[in-house]
Chain A
Amino acid sequence: MPENEEKAAEVFAHEHEEEEHKTPGTVVLTLALLISFAVYYFANWKALADVWHVR
């Protein structure tokens, strides 16, 4: 039986009830995103500096 799907109505009904949660894996994924962004952003500013000289 589709266990998760069967619980959908119940989950929607009780979604306002706060629960304690620990999400270390998602925190690591988020840090990976931020590091990727920092590298890409810096590379673009470096590329801009290489072609657009300020004297």
Chain B
Amino acid sequence: MANAVAIPASHEESEVITKPVGNHAAGNSRTCDTTGLPVCLTAQLFIRLNAVLGVVALLAGGIAALLIALTRWPAVHLLDPVWYYRLTTFHGLNMLIFWILFMEVGILYFASTTLLNSRLFSKGMAWASFVMMVAGAVLVDVTILGGKADVMMTSYVPLKAHSNFYLGIILVAVGTLIGVANFFGTLYIAKRDKTYAGSVPLVVFGATAAAIIAVVTLLHGALVMIPTWLWSMDILKEVDAGWYRLVWWGLGHQSQQVNVCAMVSVWYFLATLTTGAKPLNQAVCRGAFVLYILFINLASAHHLLVDPGVGASWKIWNTSYAMYLAVLASMIHGFTVPASVETAMRKKGHNRGLFGWLAAAPWKNPGFSAFFLSLLIFGFIGGITGVTLGTQQINILAHNTLRIPGHFHSTVVGGTSLAFMGLAYYVVPLIFKREYYARGLARVQPYLFAVGIVLMSLGMSFAGSYGVPRRHWDIEFTGAQFAPGFGSGAHVMLGLMGVGAVIAFVGLLTFILLTVAAVFFGKKIENRAMTPW
């Protein structure tokens, strides 16, 4: 197949390009001094804005995470019940929705403009998307912290929050949808204007898969949230609770699969940037992304495995057949990504034994360590626990125990968030054009965060194996007539969870401080390549 990206002639073009290039207007693009990739200046602005808001949401959700973990740790038991449930709601929305969605919109703009040598389709749409997402996120957070939406992230009917809570979520969803439409518009004009030849790069293909899943996800969100919003204002008399749960998971689960698609795209991107790796086999890798699009929605049924409102055959078809085709996709990427790194490293002469290539990998580069640790945590902890817990019979043992958050913290936090942190170590020098301070600390940060998340996740999983419930303020049932029966083993595991959470929070705070310091005060990168990691 032909080239997908135009390679600039030399780094002398690193200033803003004053002539029209590709479909860029004069003065609206530059060539990256480091990678040689073209950068649309309009897209650059919105990548920056979305990244900054993503990190703000990460900080807010991270502080809530620490307070929640220190409450679930019985030896500390920090918060009172009202603030425990309030901050659990706040934490879920900021970490699972806002941090991730802001980053993903930025990734979509980057993939469709820089990798396809195209201008952004519409600046107006980008502003509309950003303003709606910010307004929605602020509205949701203010409503929760004001004590008017203690309904947890799932907001299961008949729990009723203030109407502004649902309105905020709708605004975020519509804003994201506009951002996704802007991405598709950019794909269209890039194809129309022939800014690239042949097929799009795999990273863009993966981003497209994420965007397609996002559309289906957000339509589910609109379908379930608009009636619930009307119900919260007493315009609708009733929302069926069983219907709500079914449709809500089309939003709740699929939004995490948008993350998975985006995370895998980031893996491929960072593998290229840090080791020079390229995909092993285009057809296989792209086929795996198609499997996500076709089957990941059906996998959302595993959230309803103990729900009396849906039948056994529906549950078994979706979770014991369709879901495995989506799992197959993750297994394919789980092989092809490290295999592409191995191929690149062996090509450079690191051929000693089975793992000489891995030992010689750039572990001091936080972009590499974050992505590879993300891959290991996602596969070995998140993947193994996910497939097991998604089995209907075993789910009976685990449902609503702490094993469930133990699983998804290893996928969404140890997987997606850590990969996005790795991406930030390149976004800041390449898009914000600023150097990181304290580079030694930056090299350590992914390990710190990964160790914390692994300890926390394992602590949760094993405490859940002892039967400790999720989303529970006081498993001791203080003052109750009967002892709850959680032994010392469960308490040790909850302690492990607490220690892991503190370490992970230190890692997260380190990331945020380093990134904020770099973005606002870092040494400018002008007419030169970034300092190599």
Chain B 1-41 per-residue mask, 1 if CB under 8 angstroms from chain A, else 0: 11111111000000000000000000000000011110000
Binding stretch for chain A, among B247-255, B381-389, B440-448: B381-389
B203: which A residues are within 8 A, CB to CB? 12
In angstroms, Cα B5 to Cα A40, docked, is: 44
B35 adjacent to A15 (CB under 8 Å)? no
A47 adjacent to B397 (CB under 8 Å)? yes
A11 adjacent to B278 (CB under 8 Å)? yes
A31 to chain B, nearest CB (A): 11
Out of A9, A21, A44, which one reaches B7, CB within 8 Å? A9
A30 adjacent to B334 (CB under 8 Å)? yes
A9 adjacent to B343 (CB under 8 Å)? no
A44 adjacent to B274 (CB under 8 Å)? no
Q: Which residue of B lies closest to A19 (CB)?
A: B343
B276 adjacent to A4 (CB under 8 Å)? yes
A6 adjacent to B36 (CB under 8 Å)? yes
B8: which A residues are within 8 A, CB to CB? 9
B272 adjacent to A12 (CB under 8 Å)? yes
B278 adjacent to A15 (CB under 8 Å)? yes
A12 adjacent to B4 (CB under 8 Å)? yes
Whether A16 touches B387, Cβ cut-off 8 Å, given contacts A10-B7, A26-B338, is no
Q: Is B273 an interface residue (CB 8 A)?
A: yes
A12: which B residues are within 8 A, CB to CB? 4-5, 37, 115, 201, 203, 272
A16 adjacent to B282 (CB under 8 Å)? yes
A9 adjacent to B37 (CB under 8 Å)? yes
Out of B273, B280, B339, B393, which one reaches A5, CB within 8 Å? B273
Q: Which residue of A lies closest to B368 (CB)?
A: A4
B380 adjacent to A5 (CB under 8 Å)? no
Q: Which residue of A lies closest to B343 (CB)?
A: A21
A33: which B residues are within 8 A, CB to CB? 334, 379-380, 383-384
Out of A3, A17, A36, which one reaches B380, CB within 8 Å? A36
Binding stretch for chain A, among B163-171, B354-362, B475-483, B485-493: B354-362
In angstroms, Cα B226 to Cα A49, docked, is: 44
B34 adjacent to A6 (CB under 8 Å)? yes
Q: Is B516 an interface residue (CB 8 A)?
A: no
A47: which B residues are within 8 A, CB to CB? 397, 465
B338: which A residues are within 8 A, CB to CB? 23, 25-26, 29
Out of B2, B198, B530, which one reaches A2, CB within 8 Å? B530
In angstroms, Cα B357 to Cα A37, docked, is: 25
Q: Is B335 an interface residue (CB 8 A)?
A: yes
Q: Which residue of B lies closest to A7 (CB)?
A: B276
In angstroms, Cα B396 to Cα A26, docked, is: 34
A19 to chain B, nearest CB (A): 7
Partner-A contacts on B (CB < 8 A): 1-8, 34-37, 115, 198-199, 201-203, 272-282, 334-335, 338-339, 342-343, 346, 354-355, 357-358, 362, 379-380, 383-385, 387-388, 391, 393-394, 396-397, 426, 465, 529-533
Residue contacts A-B, CB under 8 angstroms, 8 given: A2-B532, A15-B4, A17-B1, A24-B354, A33-B384, A40-B385, A44-B388, A44-B391
Q: Which 9 A-B pairs give the minimum distances between C-beta atoms?
A: A2-B532, A16-B1, A9-B36, A23-B339, A8-B35, A26-B339, A21-B343, A13-B3, A15-B278
Given contacts A13-B7, A19-B343, A21-B339, 6 further A-B contacts (CB under 8 A): A2-B34, A8-B37, A9-B35, A11-B278, A23-B338, A37-B384
